[in-house]
Each structure stands twice: as structure tokens, then as C-alpha cells.
Structure 1
Amino acid sequence: MNEKRRSLESLLKPRSVAVIGASRHDGSLGKKIFDNLLESSFKGPVFPINPNAKEIASIKAYPSIFDVPEPVELAVIAVPAEFVLEAAEQCGLKGVKSLVVISAGFAENGKEGVNRQRDLASICRHHGMRLVGPNCMGVLNTDPDVSLNATFSHVFPPRGDIAMATQSGALGLVILEYAKNLNIGLSTFASVGNRADVSSNDLMEYWRDDPDTSVIMLYLESFGNPRKFARLARSISPHKPIVAVKSGRTAQGSKAAASHTGALATVDVAVDALFAQTGIIRVDDLEQLFDVSDVLSRQPLPKGNRIAILTNGGGPGALAADACSAAGLELTHLSAETVAGLRALLPVRASLGNPIDITDVGAAEYRGALSLLAGDNNIDSVIVIFIPPVFACPEEVATVIRDLAPEFRRRGKPLIASFMGQRGCVPGTTLPAGTAGVPSFAFPEAAVHALAKALEYSRQRQKPKGTAPEFLDIDRERAKKIIDSALDGWLEPDTAFSLLQAYGIMTQEIRAAENLERAIDAAQEIGFPVALKIDSTAILHKTEAGGVSLEIGSPEELKQAYDDMMEKMRIAGLIKGIRGVYVQKMAETGTEVIAGINHDAIFGPLILFGLGGIYTELFQDSTVRITPLTDADAKEMVRSVKAYRLLEGFRGAPPADVPAIEELLLRLSALVEDVPRIKEMDLNPVRVFGEGRGYAVLDARIRLGSTERLALPK
């Protein structure tokens, strides 16, 4: 057992608990927490700490933690904020191993609270105590050998294999109530509050090796250390699913970005990228969080997307079919043997397609039909829908599902129920919790959504992890000279191209010219046809301003294009910022894409890829990943955009050099990892040529930020 996991044992599996602030007064947090510890039948001693009471709930109370005659592993502090530091110091001197500070009035409450939280964390570090909170709801463990409810929620959920961390104490109350009502079992639960010490990252690391936990649920409001989070999630998700809901999806008051990449690589896009790369299942709300976790906890992973729907009502079956289509699930063709068996079993009025509408029959027909579906090799998963009719009672059908669940599990097929109008357990019976249980939903659409997410995770586990390749032809010394000599701000285009070339990124030849005469000389040197581009400090997007002219085939055409461009600039009032023009060799035809970098304050460098050219922001056909990229990340990025169909060869067009674009993304990842001063980059357009012919960056914008310098790897 590693040291960090051992340090959390005293928090989640303590052998003794003290409640500092335990009280006799109804409604006080101290009383609720103390009562909950007793009612949950915690397996160790519980010590109430209160200088004004001799006993609480018939248990001897102690004036201070020092007076407790036995060792204390966990102390729950529920006193006003101004007394917390003293209590924490006393716990440290006593030898307490972990604290849960319920009290509010810390970093969430102004400068004084920030200072108080800093001092609390310092006390805990000094004494080697782990700290959950402050401003939290507490921790919980349903293991019968522990039976810990160190929260102020009276709800003690059923035993299960789902672990949960939440940053919101208020939501924690709802979460525990929801879990109990739906018979969804938890292993452990922690409300981390202000995260002065223990965070979701720490808990994930604990749950990674916890034999009692098979699924991890997270409610996140923010990320402390996204890179550590990503590293942990990558190591956990291939073995245990992580299901997360992240609040704050919409950007309020977002500023205008100076590049296409900056406009497209928003914070929520970065969260999606982080989750996609690490195998985390992202859901939109708490209901979906429980739905998906319940399926992952109780059912085997789907082997494929072939679905069979068994229903006793045509309408719900049609709704489920529509939901399957939207979620990428296929309503499979039943085998001839299954169809024959259903025909012999069901009345003539039954529909034997898929969905299978068995109409108004009883539990016996449900049993026979489900048995046939369990043995059909054309089916990967089954959704069974039941509307309580006159002819069959819910309890009998639920019993059938319960009885057949082990057979579906033996065959590795998820079985999910929808008892219309009833959520969770069917009245009068129990679809059993634990690994043999069958999740039950009030509406079929929710069942389909949860199953689709389970399939998403199943496919994610099958993907290769990938590696970050090392490019031996990178000229880091050349790059270092360029960066060290550059000021903050946007690089000149020829300087930007030089930096890209140092990292083996292919660019189209370009020359700067301060006047028409120099432009003609440059064009003759590189060879016609050429493109003419304005060089201006006042223009962000040259095409929109009329600052680009293409397919110039002679000096005479160049002069005409130059004069026309300058006249447009004068008319638009943009002449003042013009420093000259750039002359660039025209590239052969190909597909235009965009690649870019945006440095996010939370997530660090983000790599963007998508449809390029003038329609980049209009269609917003792009994807983002967090660096460093692996070869698997790059491959997935290129294939995840709609523009990939163009790269494949759309309607008879020749396919493009996809491997070259994947390599471009990997070289960009290496560049931004080496050069942290890069804050923004647009390579747009990047012209991708035919198979084996590579690509060329036609336009590059690179903005440098901080004064950090390139650190050459040893």
C-alpha cells in the first residue's frame, strides 16, 4: 500500500472517531453528525467533545480531545470558524491522523477566511494530518466492517461498489437521498468542500486500488491540477470507469479572441478534450451521473452496439428506437431461431420485428421472450420495457427479470429495464442491487442514454493508449535562438515560419517585401505563380480585409494586384499600419485544414485541428486535445471532425496525406511542450496534398507571452 493511500485509510476507514462540537441541541451540525455516527453503527468508538456536557446520547463526553483516554484516528470538527484552528492544533498534538472540517467561514468567505484556511492547512501539514474540507459535508463508508456516516446527512445509502466525490456539500445531501431512493449502492462518499488538502485527485488515487470500488463518480466545479487529474484518470479508466459531471459549461462574458484557435478552444472544449483523452465518461447532469454509473456498476460492458428492445407497448418501443438511432445504437436483426421461437410463444397480434411488441401478455411470455433474446448471438444488449397493464402485475415481471439476469450476465449481455412511470425499484419487489442487479428506469430514453454511455466506455477501453513519439530531426538550438531574441507579442510571419521549420513542420516558401520593387524581385526568385499578402500591424484576418491576392502569374499581374490591394487599404482607412507585403509561392491544390495552439490558464497548452480556410469559425468543425499528444490522440483528432471525409477522398476526389497531418499535430505538441512562451498559434490554412505528398503551412500566426525561455531537454 502506497503512502498516500495509507494516509487516507484513517479518513475513510478510521478505527475511532471524535466529534468536536458534538451537541445535545436539535438542529446543530454537531448533534446531527454525532447521531449519524451512532445510527450507522460505526464499528469503532465515538467520542463526543464538548466542554459543556458530561454526556451526549448517553455517551460520556470529554471537555477536549486531550481528555480522550484512547487514540483517535479521525476527528470531525463542527464548531464556529474562529475556534477551528485551536481545535485542529489540539488534534495534531493528540496524534489524530485525519480531520474533517465541516465548519464554513474559510476561503469561500473573503480575505480573513482565506488566511484562516491557509493557517488550517499549515497546522495539518505540520502535524502530518490529512484534511477534508473545510466547508464540507463529510465522509461516508458503507463497508459493514466500518459503517461510517461522518456527515450531517441522515441518509445512509445501501452498500455498493460506486465511490463518489463532490465539491458541493449542498448537492451531497441530494446525492445521498437519490442513491437511497433508487437503491443504488455506494462504497464510499466524500464531500471535499474547499479542498485545502484532500482533493478529488487524492480520492481517485485511493479508489484506483480500492477493492470495494468498481465505479467512480465525480461532481466537479473546478480543477485543482488538471495535468495530475489527467495522469491519474489515464491510469484508472482502463480498469475502472470514471463518470463525471462538470458544472459551468457555459462561458459568461468571454472576451473576443485574436485568433481562430483562441475563439474555438474554449474552457468547456478543454474539459471535453481532457475527458476524451483520459477515458472519463462525461454526462450533463446528476440524473445522468447516477443512470450511467448504475448501469456500469450492475451490468457487464456491451460488446457492441446491436440492441434488442422488448416491450408491451408500441409507443414506448418507438421512443426507445428513436433514442437508439440518435445514440448510434443499432436495432439488430433477430436470428431466424429467435423469430421462430417468438412466433410460437406470442399471440398472432404481437410484432416480431425490433422493437418486439409482445402486447398484453403475462409474465410467462416475458420469461420466454427474454430467454430467447439471451441466447441470440446477433444481440449485444437488451432493453425490456414494461407498462403495467391489466393482464400482468409489475411484481411478476420484475421477478422474471431478476431470475434471468444471471443468464444475461453469464453471456456478457447488459439487461436494462424500463418500468414506465416507476423509477428504481418496482413496488412490492426489488430488482436486486449489486453485480446481479438490473437498473430500472422510468422512461426508455434514459435507459438508452445510459446504455450508450456504457458502450462509449467499452469502446474507449479497447483503444490503444498510444505513445508520444520523439522526433530526432528537431533543431532545438535554432528554436532557442529565435525565441530568446523575440519580444512578447505576435511574431513576424517569416520568423514564425522559421520557428516551425526548426521543428520539422513543412511550410510554403515566403518572402517579406517592403515595396513593389522588392515584391517583384521576391516573386522572380521563388518563381511564379505567387500569392500576395498584406503585412500590417492593424489587420488580424487578411482575407476579410482584402489583403490577399492569389494566382499571380507575372510581374505585370503582381503590379496590378499590389496597386489594387493598396487602394483597398486606403479606402478602408488601414494604410497606416502597413509595413509592406509578403510574397509566397502558390501551393498545389489540396484540402485546407487548420491546426493551432491556445494556452489555457487552467489546462495549459491546447492543440486544435479542424476544417481550415475562411470558413473555420463559421462551421466550427474542429476538435481540441490537451498536450502532450500521443500518436493515438493525433489519429483520433484527425478522424473526429467532419472534414475527415474530405481528407479520405470525398465523391471520387483523391485521398489526402492523413499520416502527414497526424505528424504535424505531434510536432506541434513537441513544440509547445518545449516552448512555454507560445500562448497562441494559428496555422490556417494548412494545405494537405495527396497521399504521400505531405502538406504546407500557408499562413502562420504565433504569439509569445511570458519571459520563460526554451529549456533544452537533457
Structure 2
Amino acid sequence: MDSNPVKASKPTNPLDGVFKPRSVAVIGASRREGSIGHKIFTNLLDSSFRGPVIPVNPKADAISGVKTYSSVLDIPEPVDLAVIVVPAETVLPMVEGCGRKGVKAVIVISAGFAESGVEGIELQEKLTLICRHYGMKLVGPNCMGVMNTDPSVNLNATFSHVFPPQGKIAMATDSGALGLVILEYASNLGIGLSNFASVGNRADVSSNDLLEYWRDDPGTSAIMLYLEAFGNPKNFIRLARSISPNKPIIALKSGRSSAGSRAAASHTGALATVDVAVDALFAQGGILRVDNLERLFDVADILSRQPIPRGSRVAVLTNGGGPGALTADACAAAGLELPSLAEKTLQGLKALLPARASLGNPIDITDVGAPEYQGALRLLAADNNIDAVIVIFIPPVFACPEDVAAVIREMEPEFRRRGKPLLASFMGKRGCVPGTIMPPGAAGVPSFSFPEAAVYALARARDYGLIRNQPAGRLVNLPGIDRGKARRIVESAGDGWLPAKSVFALLTAYGIKSMALRFAEDLDAAIGAAEDIGYPVALKLDSATIVHKTEVGGVALDIGSSEELRAAYHRMLGRLAAVGRAAEVRGVTVQKMAGEGVELIAGITRDETFGPLILFGLGGIYTELFEDRTLRIQPLTDKDAQEMVRSVRAFKLLEGFRGEPPADVPAVEELLLRLSAMAEDLPRIKELDLNPIRAFTAGKSYTVVDARILIE
């Protein structure tokens, strides 16, 4: 590196050099049509970029009529952004020259870096060091570039053949190839973008950096993400939480199919799959997760064009009974309501529509024209029983689709004034494509080929409204934790499963309530412990290697006398001897029977990407069969704990199912917060299971019946 570099002047935002450059140099610009260097250079010219576009190519005098330079250092004027399209082995000297020139940011399109093996990883590390030395932001390498549709910039620094219309949606993608498809799809549907970025290998600029930039960008009102991996999940959550109350984030994460590949010894570890951890990350960040590209755009489209629905009450206006019924089914599945219309609305519809019309909800207005659609929409806009309207139109022979579309566009401002989203489904026609029935324009009514897609998008917009209105969570300082005692227990333990006595002592140190437990090395000690505790008791084997005790007959419940305990003890040891595992037994534990309650599971597991994860769900022997569980990334806020308890199907049992009294939900929430504190304080805990936990009736707390902790 040069010992006296020319430092780039610091922009208002570090990424302004990427998205708002005053000048762009294309290093590797080419006269050869079909080459990436030619395409990027001509795209910059064709998009009417507002500053100079300067080609750098030592083998050409001019490209597309623009004078070339042999080196970026030969360019007489300042350069804000350099787009580099040269072979990987020549990238470093080009970037070095950019640093000496004082370039603010570089986009390295070239492949052949970390994605290509060990040598590529080393090359990428050197590239990153050069950029950091000169204070340049780096997008890529191995990416397709960036866009800014703001008319004051008009930047198309990509090799895409389309430049989408200006809009309010910012888009980031980890995949350059997919980026090409995304841009074409958006352009075909008339969905406008504010910014687009393909981050490639993310050597410097990552999705987190883009989130931070778009959080403060007045031209962006919604953010779309296509993610293949995460950098810093905790920073991702922090940023998303700061953005989602004001701007929706919609994300598509690839890799669902590998979700079950994670090996684990505990129930918690087995249930904490990668995909479930991603769900946890998005839930904590207030991010809307979708499962395909079409839905990614559908949800972003409605959130960028329409008001956020104030509730779940939907009116469906259709000229066909079949589509109306399908829409009603889709609404029920998505948690949207089809309420009764206000009496004034019903009377107005009765006066407006023919007698054959159905005035329920869905409203089947039958074979009428645009004036009747307009009148019905005016009534629905004023109906306080309705939060949103979906209009379905099947083009009949005697009605003009363009006239109905014009009516919908005309009524949209009235719906917007009242804070109600308005969506359309012109059956068989998709999107706001120029020349079709719903062209893009000021009205901005999203249109879908089929009503089920409209319902899905509306339901996710409703979900965002709930997210936006939720209070922020807070970290809770819990009393009754003896961290010194807990550290001594863990520090004195070797790697492996903690003995039962140490497990329950650790729980007590964190104020986690558990059944009294006595350890016994032999039968006589077990009988003595049972008599001290009082029958009935539970007898369980204690082993460093046998984790799932029930699978080997290592648990006996409701033992009511010393004779029953003696028989259970010999039966247990006999089974283990028969399979050659008697030597793995350290002894047994004796516990008082817990009593009736809802069986739950809670636990901790550590993931290489996400760090400590906290699990909660239905417990007992059916834990992995039903997989009724949820996860959050540690640390938990009080809001996280509340959402965890309420997000599982077992919450119906905690509420009081079929006449049963409700359980002590606040105590269960506090248990999760105490587990989060334990995960924070004791990083040697690799996996922890509390299973089952018995949740008792309101005011009577809970107790941990069985627990195991793996130390590493």
C-alpha cells in the first residue's frame, strides 16, 4: 500500500458514496457488446445518471463515444464510486489505485474470491484490508451491483437489462443471479424500487449496513431482503427493532430444507433447528417472513402503496359467487374476519343493486357495471365495521374491465383518507403492468391474479400493523439470583452432563423452582430418601451418558411404599444390565411427585450462528412428536417471554381448556427470563432441558420435574 494515501472525504453517510455518487468510474469498461464491462457502462449512460460516467480501459481510446483513461489515477476530476469488472487476480491493484485516488466506494463485480476456495478467501481478505486502509466502502465482491432510482441520481451500476420504475421499496439480495430475476419481475409488475443492492460475498457492506442506511432514507418506506446467511444476528435484531415500527421489513430466507440437519443430544437441541432459529430472529426483529419471491413482492407492494389496516375486518366485493367463497375461506385461514355490514351500508346496497345480488359478506353484486361498483365501494369506504376491502372482478361479456379499473382507481383516495387498504383481483391478470387493466399510477391499488394472493398480502399487512403497535420490550433485572454459586458449580464441573444434584443446585441458584430431589448411590439410601421426603415419590436413574431415561426404563412414578420402591429399583437395574449398560449408572434420584399441572418444556441450546437460543413449548413424552415449540435468541425481553408463551398451541391449555382453571402464566414467563439470564452468565452451558415443567393454577407458580444440563 502507498505510505501517503489520499484519503477520501467523509460523506454524510458512509453509503452515500455507493448510492449517491457524484461521479462513477467503470474499471474494466469494454467496447465488446455482451460483456459485463460493456453492459454496466452502457447501463449507467442509459439510466441518465446525473454525473459523469468515466470508462477505465488501457486498450481503448473511447467507449460509446466517451473518452477512456488507462488508470483511475489518470482521471482529472474526483471519483466517488468505482465499479470494478476485471479478472480477480488484477482487482487488488485496481482497488489500491482507487484508494490513492480518493474514491469513496468501490463495487467489485468480479468473482473468484471467498466463494471459490482457500486462495479466494485470502484474496478477499487482502481486498478488504485495502478498502479499510483507505476508508472506502466495499460492495461485493462477486455481486451484480447497485441501483438508485431517485431522479436526482438515476444510478444503474448493475448488468441488469432492466431499470425498474421509481418507488418506495428498497431491496437487498445475497444472490446476484436472483437479483436479475427480481429486477425483471418488479419491472414487469410496475412495482417501483427506491434502491437495489446485490451484496455478493459481503466482505464489507452487509445486509445490516443496508438496513441502517435505509432506516434513515426518506425515499424508502418498505424494505425487502433475500437472505442466504446472516452476519451478526444480534446486530440484525437490534437494527430491525429500530426500523420495523416505522418501516416494514419483509424477508425471504433460503435454506429451509436443511433445517433438520443439526445434531443434538437434548430435546431442546433437537427442536432448535436452524429454520426455527430464523423464525425466532425475524419474530424478535419485527420482520415479516415470507416463503417465496412472489409473496415477497405481494406483501411489499401493499405495504408501500396502501394504508396499514387498523384491524382484521374485511369486506369482499365480487361479481362471482365462487371467487367470493374462495376468498372467504382464505380469509378464515389467515385470521381475517368477514363481519356483518352496517345497517346503513346494507340499505344503500339494497337500493343500488339488483334484487338477485347477495348482500352478505362476501357481497356478490352479480352482473353489473362500473357505476354499481363505484356506489358499492363508496358505501364500504364509509362503513365503520370494515377495515379493508378486496374487490374481485371476473370480466363478463357486457362489462368493461377498464371502466371497473378506473372506478377502483378513482375511489382509492377516499379509502386512503379513511385509512383503509383497497386491493383488487382481476381474475387471471396479475400486477400493475403498463397496458393492462390496472396500470401503475397515483392510485396505487395492488392487483392480483387470484384473490387468495390478495388475502395473504392483506393478512401480512395486518400482522405488520400489530407489530408496529406493540410496545417495545425491556430487559428485566431479576431478584434472587446467586451468580457466584452458579459459577462455582459450573467451574468445578468437567465437560459432559452435570450430575443431577448439581443440576438442581444450579436451578436453585437462578431462582428456578424445582421439586425437592435427593441423590442416592444405592437402594438403602434411596429408601431412606423416600421416607424423608414422604411417599408417593418418583425414582429416576442418574447417568452421565444415558440422557433419555424413559427410553431405557429409567423412570418409575407414583411409588407409594418402600416395597414398591425396592421392586422398581431392581426392575430398573435389571433392564440396564440386560442391555449391558448397568455400569453407566451413577445412582438414582428420589423426588416427591409433582401433582397435576400442564406439562411444558423450556431449555437452552447454543447455535454457531445465532448464539444462545431459548426454547419453550409443550413438554412431557410428546415433546418431539408434536414439536409444539418456539424459540427466541437470547437475551429475552419481557415482551419476548410473553410472545413465546402465547405463540404455542399449548397456550390454550395454559389459558384453561374445557373448563380447566388457567395456569400461572406470569410465573412461566419469569422462568424463561431466568433461563435467559443463565444463558448470558454461563457460556459453558451447551444444552439445557427442563422437561417436564408442571405449570400449576394461577398464583401457584410451577415446578421443574426433570432437568439435564450439558457443560462444554
Q: Which TM-score band (shorter chain)?
A: over 0.9
1:529-550 residue CA offsets vs partner (Å, 9 max, x unmatched): 2111112344221122211111
Deviation at 1:576, TM superposition (A): 2.4
**In structure 2, what is the equivalent of residue 386 of structure 1?**
393
1:135 pairs, out of 125, 131, 142, with 142
CA separation in 2, counterparts of 1:508 and 1:279?
37
Q: How far is the alpha carbon of 1:253 from its aligned partner?
A: 7.0
1:160 equivalenced with 2:160 (yes/no): no
- Deviation track 1:269-310 (CA, whole Å, cap 9, x = no partner) reads 000011111110000011100000000000000111111111
* Residue pairs, 1:196-275, within 5 angstroms: 196-251=203-258, 254-275=261-282
Query: 1:302-354, CA deviations, whole angstroms, 9 ceiling, x for partnerless residues?
Result: 11111111111122111111111110111111111111111111112211111
Please tell me whether the aligned partners of residues 188 and 433 of structure 2 are also in contact (alpha carbons under 8 angstroms): no
Aligned to 1:299, which of 286, 301, 306? 306
Moved more, 92-101 or 352-361: 352-361
> How far has the Cα of 1:590 moved from its partner?
1.5
Amino acid at match of 1:365: E
Residue number in structure 2 paired with 1:327: 334
Residue of structure 2 equivalent to 1:493: 500
Distance 1:678 1:5 in 2: 44
Residue 255 of structure 1: CA displacement?
4.7
Q: Deviations 1:679-714 (Å, cap 9, x if unpaired)?
A: 100000111122211111111110112xxxxxxxxx
SS of residue matched to 2:380: helix
CA spacing shift, 1:217–1:510, aligned 2, 3 Å: same
Q: Secondary structure at the match of 1:303?
A: coil
What is aligned with 2:710?
703
Return the match for 1:99 from 102, 106, 113: 106
Q: Look up the match of 1:709.
A: none
CA distance in 2, matches of 1:648, 1:13: 54
* 1:408 partnered with 2:418: no
Match of 1:616 in 2: 623
Matched letter for residue 44 of structure 2: L
Report how far residue 622 of structure 1 moved: 1.1
**What code does the residue aligned with 2:424 have?**
A
Name the residue aligned to 2:685.
678
1:600-638 deviation line (CA, Å, top 9, x unaligned) = 111011111111111111111111111111111111111
Match for residue 486 of structure 2? Answer: 479
In the alignment, structure 1 residue 667 sits paired with structure 2 residue 698: no
The 1-side partners of 2:272 and 2:190 are apart by: 40
Q: Is the 8 A contact 2:476 2:637 kept in 1?
A: yes
Task: Tell me, in whole angstroms, the C-alpha distance in 1 between the residues paired with 2:617 and 2:579.
Answer: 31
Farther off after superposition, 77-86 or 344-353: 344-353
- 1:427 Cα deviation (Å)? 6.3
TM-score, normalising length: structure 1:
0.97
Letter in 1 for 2:29: A
> How far is 1:570 from its partner?
2.5
The 1-side partners of 2:184 and 2:657 are apart by 53
Residue 49 of structure 1 pairs with residue 56 of structure 2:
yes
Asked if residue 369 in structure 1 is aligned to residue 376 in structure 2, the reply is yes
Matched, 1:521 2:528: yes
- Structure 1 pair 477–253 and aligned structure 2 pair: CA distance change class (3 A): closer
Q: Structure 1: 5+ residue runs without aligned partners?
A: 706-714
How has the CA–CA distance of structure 1 residues 585 and 252 changed in structure 2, closer, same or farther, with 3 Å as cutoff? closer
Q: State how far apart, in whole Å, the 2-side matches of 1:426 and 1:435 are.
A: 14
Distance change in 2, residues 1:201/1:435 (3 Å): farther
- Change in CA separation of 1:476 and 1:298 when aligned onto 2, cut-off 3 Å: same
Matched with 2:537 is 530
Question: Which of 117, 120, 125 is 1:118 aligned to?
Answer: 125
Q: Per the alignment, do residues 5 and 635 of structure 1 end up closer, same or farther by CA in structure 2, a change over 3 Å counting?
A: farther
| Match of residue 176 from structure 2 | 169
Aligned counterparts of 2:655 and 2:340: Cα–Cα separation in 1: 30
Deviations 1:539-575 (A, max 9, x none): 2211222111112222222212212222222334332
- The answer to whether the 8 Å contact 2:318/2:363 transfers is yes
- Alignment correspondent of 2:431: 424
Task: Indicate whether 1:179 and 2:186 are aligned.
Answer: yes
3-state DSSP of counterpart to 1:251: helix
Letter in 2 for 1:642: R
CA contact (8 A) 1:533 1:547 kept: yes
Q: Is the 8 A contact 1:297 1:435 kept in 2?
A: no
CA distance in 2, matches of 1:63, 1:4: 27
**1:567 and 2:595 equivalent?**
no
In the alignment, the residues of structure 1 paired with residue 79 and residue 437 of structure 2 have an alpha-carbon distance, to the nearest angstrom, of 40
Q: Paired residue for 2:553?
A: 546
Residue 457 of structure 1 aligns to a residue whose secondary structure is: helix
Query: For the structure 1 residues 5 and 667, does the alpha-carbon distance in structure 2 shift closer, same or farther, using more than 3 Å as the test?
Result: farther
Amino acid in structure 2 at the alignment position of 1:13: K
Q: Shift in Å at residue 41 of structure 1?
A: 0.2
**Contact 2:128 2:204 (C-alpha < 8 Å) held by counterparts:** yes
Partner of 1:469, secondary structure, is coil
Over residues 65-110 of structure 1, what are the superposed CA-to-partner deviations in whole Å (9 max), with x where a residue is unaligned?
Answer: 0111100000000111111111000000000000000011111111
Tell me what 1:598 maps to: 605
Find the residue that maps to 1:238 and give its secondary structure. coil
For the 8 Å contact 1:185–1:433, the answer to whether it is kept is no
User: What is the number of equivalent residue pairs in this alignment?
Assistant: 704
Residue 391 of structure 2 aligns to a residue whose secondary structure is strand
1:28 matches 2:28 = no
Question: Which one of the candidate residues 555, 564, 568 is aligned to 2:562?
Answer: 555
What's the CA shift for 1:650?
1.7
* Root mean square deviation, CA, Å: 1.5
> Post-superposition shift, 1:435?
6.8
SS at 2:310 equivalent: coil
Amino acid at match of 1:108: E
TM-score w.r.t. the length of structure 2 is 0.97
- 2:435 & 2:103 partners in 1: Cα distance? 46
Unpaired segments ≥5 residues, structure 2: 1-9
In the alignment, what sits opposite 1:646? 653
* Matched residue type, 2:132: R
The answer (yes or no) to whether the contact 2:262–2:273 under 8 Å persists in 1 is no
Separation in 1 of the partners of 2:711 and 2:63? 64
Aligned AA for 1:373?
A: L
2:522 equivalent to 1:507: no
Structure 1 residues 28, 190: closer, same or farther in 2, change over 3 A? same
> C-alpha offsets along residues 206-257 of structure 1, whole Å, 9 cap, x if unaligned?
0001000000000000001111101100111011000000000122672542
Report what 1:712 is aligned to: none
Instruction: From the superposition, tell whether residues 7 and 486 of structure 1 become closer, same or farther in structure 2 (CA, over 3 Å).
Output: same
8 Å Cα contact 2:11/2:17 also seen in 1: no
* 8 Å contact kept, 1:402–1:432: no
Shift of 1:5: 6.4
State how far apart, in whole Å, the 2-side matches of 1:436 and 1:629 are: 42
**Quick check: 288-297 or 328-337, which moved more?**
328-337
Contact 2:259 2:275 in 1 (8 A): no
Contact conserved, 1:398 with 1:426, CA < 8 A, in 2? Answer: no
Q: For the structure 1 residues 253 and 354, does the alpha-carbon distance in structure 2 shift closer, same or farther, using more than 3 Å as the test?
A: closer
Structure 1 residue 48: Cα displacement: 0.5
Distance 1:671 1:88 in 2: 47
Alignment-mate amino acid for residue 410 of structure 2: D
> What residue number does 2:4 align with?
none
- Aligned partners of 1:30, 1:141: CA distance in 2, in Å? 19
Provide the rounded CA distance (Å) in 2 between the counterparts of 1:89 and 1:246: 35
1:442 paired with 2:449, answer: yes
- Secondary structure, counterpart of 1:388 in structure 2: coil
Amino acid corresponding to residue 467 of structure 2 in structure 1? Q
